[in-house]
Amino acid sequence: MTVGLIRAEGAADVRTLTATGASSRVRRSLTAATAGVLAALGAVLGIAGAYVAMTGAYLDDLDRLGHVPWLHLMITVIGVPLVAWAAGWLLAGREPPEFARTAMT
């Protein structure tokens, strides 16, 4: 739901930028930054939520949580936003076929 709301709000902003003559580089940067930040927030909140749930599940034996897979967590926290940023950069920036009317969603 959050992604849908952000995309809807972002689409109006991109149409406004296009109408005012913003280059494709500006539109790509906006889309890539939005995707990267959203992915980073999702990764961090997902990891934090998982550890809160595991702490509750293993409350009687917290030693089981002693081994933290730092490498995998860092790959997730850094890699997922980078992939989202790259996808946003590569897939955005084209001139929309029509931007005079508001999209019906």
Q: Which pTM value belongs to this model?
A: 0.74
Average pLDDT over the chain, rounded to an integer: 83
pLDDT digits (tens, 9 = 90+) for 19-70: 888 888 888 888 888 889 889 999 999 999 999 999 999 898 888 888 899 9
Judge contact between 39 and 2, C-beta under 8 A.
Answer: no
